[in-house]
Structure 1
Amino acid sequence: MVRLHIKKDRIKPDNWPIGMSLRIVALADIHACTAWMNVPRIDKIVAQANALKPDIVVLLGDYLSGMHLMFKSLPHNHWAESLARLEASLGVHAVLGNHDWWEDLQAQARRGGPTMAGNALEEVGIQLYSNDAKHFRKDGYGFWLAGLESQLALLANRRIPRRGVVGLDDLEGTLAQVTNDDPVVLMAHEPDIFPEVPERVSLTLSGHTHGGQVRVRGRAPAVPSRYGNQYAYGHVVEEGRHLLVSGGLGYSVLPLRFGVPPEINLIELG
């Protein structure tokens, strides 16, 4: 098993208040299963995340394995109960990923939620965001946390994933809920939304790509993004806008990582 890495980034967006410091821990792409991402493994990840003393924890989607032909998925309540042990003064907040939709046959059949993964999170007290925005205060300043629904939620043909995929994300409607000039942190499982994110958003946090799962000399040969390596991994700055793409924790397609170890992300914002 590849050793878990704590990836630290200090980000200072231009529109972030000088007097506010926000310590964010982000966990992405857990892909819970009975093999390498079982309950004891998730419990260790949770303990390491708590040891970082975050102000806020964000969960960036893909709790379900997506590799059910090779390994058994964990019961939803098992991985959710482990994540319920996460601790942060401003709470634990989550969005869903594409696999949380793709593996839910009932949600696919009705072309919408609720999902089993989303229900599992909410049942243990974790706040789920589906094109929602909520306001918080830290150090006497306010900020918004917004979360998009998956951009790859609904499959037109389950035998040919990614063909005719329909997203349920609503960036415009989500940001319309922001009612003042306080800065915004956006959770978006897939990073491909980033070119559409306005300067109004201080930081976009994403997962999904696993950093390509294999990286050589800073590039991945295969990335599940229409932008290739542009938004595959790490801190990206474009026209003053900031994106942080996590390398994630689990595996997808193949149980292989090279050059991009599983990681917990610690973001010092401000």
Structure 2
Amino acid sequence: MRFIIFATIFLSVMALLSLFISRRFIRKLHFSKRVKRYLNLFLLVNLFGVVAYMFVRYNPSVPNWAYFLLSLPIGIIFLLFIATIFYEFFAFIINKTPVSEKRRDFFKKGLDIGAVAVAGSINAKAMYNAKHIELEKVTVKIKKLKNSYKIIQLSDVHIGGLVDKTFIANLVKRVNTLNADIVVITGDLVDTKMKYAKPALDELKNLSSKYGTYFIVGNHEYFHDVQAIINYVNSLGIKTLENENVYIGEKDKGFYLAGVYDIFGNRINAYIPDLKKALEGTDDAPKVLLAHQPRYIKEIDQKVDLVLSGHTHGGQIAPFNLLVKLQQPYVKGLNQHNEDTQIYVNKGTGFWGPPMRLGASSEISEITIIPA
């Protein structure tokens, strides 16, 4: 029932956005009726693609090429909607500019051709961006830390669909070239049923680092049997931090790495984050906390030097980042929260929904913590 309600609302929104694009953009173009008919037909087919995507989202039997085509329409509608807003703005300026009708008509035709070209180019660029994972390097100073350590952070991989065994195998190879002290995965690793995710997860056994790989659950793990995911990840030699901590590095020269469950656990009253338990026994030593959602930082009432989060995808497709900002205090990158605590937000190593990114690249974070 919950899926039916969500699907109905979501498809209604997509249909309304498509209608808006048709009425406020395509209808106003100085193109022939035949061309505009084709553009509207594309919109209609695209909308049917959204419907189909709702049914194939968690079906691994769908070939990758078909899954790719069906996962694009959501992003295309969103980007065309944004393009329509800009088109309306510039069309308004042209209409209010005191020039002759002939010159105004010339500007309007130029706007029409330019708008269609830019809209197509932006969609193509967004698809290109999703295929390329950037390495983001950052150095963080931590008080009382005696040695430097290199942390590689992955987040929001979203195994399922296009993020398959091949994707993870290539990711692991790249991470292994970075010579990490530790690798951390800050949630939303799995986004499909476990029986479909296992081949891709198995590739993570090949991750290599000096002190091992550590994982915390994100909100999406709660949708696919969180305990089964924890158990399987642990079986791969990856330690899931469940409101607990481990000491990393040489005695008295390292730091405590702690991890909490995601705040989604508060909604289902299970696997609830417990910071007090996670930091038990850490005393006044340097501390790095893994917490999937940046807004968990509001719950921190003890000294934590660095929080590593994900969840936001950096907005994934601009200007969606502005909406994310309404829910999360930090969207991406390194931020100074207060005198004692910094937070780094990974923009996501994979993607959710459409394989598109605009203004927020996929990333592997190379975080070097050094003595302050």
Name the counterpart of 1:235.
334
Shift of 1:193: 1.1
Shift of 1:149: 0.6
- Are residue 259 (structure 1) and residue 362 (structure 2) matched? no
Shift of 1:223: 1.5
**8 Å contact from structure 1 (residues 209, 225) kept in 2:** no
Name the counterpart of 1:53.
179
Q: Larger C-alpha radius of gyration, 1 or 2?
A: 2
Name the counterpart of 2:131.
2
**8 Å contact from structure 2 (residues 160, 197) kept in 1:** no
Would you identify which runs of 4 or more consecutive aligned residues in structure 1 move more than 6 Å?
Answer: none
Shift of 1:123: 1.1
* Greater RCO structure (CA 8 Å; 6+ sep): 1
- Choose 191-200 or 128-137, whichever is displaced more: 191-200
Aligned residues: 240
**8 Å contact from structure 2 (residues 165, 201) kept in 1:** no
Name the counterpart of 1:111.
none
Name the counterpart of 2:210.
89
CA distance in 1 between partners of 2:326 and 2:301 (Å): 20
Name the counterpart of 2:347.
247
- Are residue 22 (structure 1) and residue 149 (structure 2) matched? yes
Matches within 5 A, 1:162-181: 168-178=272-282, 180-181=283-284
TM-score by length of 2: 0.60
Name the counterpart of 2:285.
182
**8 Å contact from structure 1 (residues 22, 138) kept in 2:** no
Amino acid at match of 1:47: K
Shift of 1:212: 1.2
Q: Using a 3 Å threshold, how does the CA distance of structure 1 residues 139 and 268 change in structure 2: closer, same or farther?
A: farther
Identity %: 28
Shift of 1:139: 8.3
Aligned with residue 42 of structure 1, among 144, 148, 168: 168
CA distance in 2 between partners of 1:100 and 1:21 (Å): 32
- Are residue 78 (structure 1) and residue 199 (structure 2) matched? yes
Aligned with residue 324 of structure 2, among 223, 228, 235: 223
Q: Using a 3 Å threshold, how does the CA distance of structure 1 residues 172 and 154 change in structure 2: closer, same or farther?
A: closer
CA distance in 2 between partners of 1:261 and 1:74 (Å): 29
The structure with the greater share of residues assigned to strand is 1
CA distance in 1 between partners of 2:160 and 2:281 (Å): 36
CA distance in 1 between partners of 2:152 and 2:211 (Å): 11
Shift of 1:225: 6.5
CA distance in 1 between partners of 2:312 and 2:216 (Å): 15
Q: Using a 3 Å threshold, how does the CA distance of structure 1 residues 2 and 20 change in structure 2: closer, same or farther?
A: same
The unaligned stretches of length 5 or more in structure 1 are: 108-114, 157-164
**8 Å contact from structure 2 (residues 287, 304) kept in 1:** yes
Shift of 1:190: 1.1
Matches within 5 A, 1:128-167: 128-138=240-250, 141-153=253-265
Matches within 5 A, 1:93-108: 93-104=214-225
**8 Å contact from structure 1 (residues 191, 207) kept in 2:** yes
Name the counterpart of 1:126.
238
Aligned with residue 191 of structure 2, among 61, 65, 72: 65
Aligned with residue 192 of structure 1, among 295, 305, 309: 295
Amino acid at match of 1:28: S
Q: Tell me, what secondary structure is at the counterpart of 1:133?
A: strand
**8 Å contact from structure 1 (residues 212, 223) kept in 2:** yes
Q: Using a 3 Å threshold, how does the CA distance of structure 1 residues 258 and 166 change in structure 2: closer, same or farther?
A: farther
RMSD value over aligned CA atoms?
2.3
CA distance in 1 between partners of 2:353 and 2:228 (Å): 22
Deviations along 1:222-257, one digit per CA (max 9) or x if unpaired, are: 328623xx3111111022210000001222244331
Name the counterpart of 2:315.
212
TM-score by length of 1: 0.81
Q: Using a 3 Å threshold, how does the CA distance of structure 1 residues 65 and 129 change in structure 2: closer, same or farther?
A: same
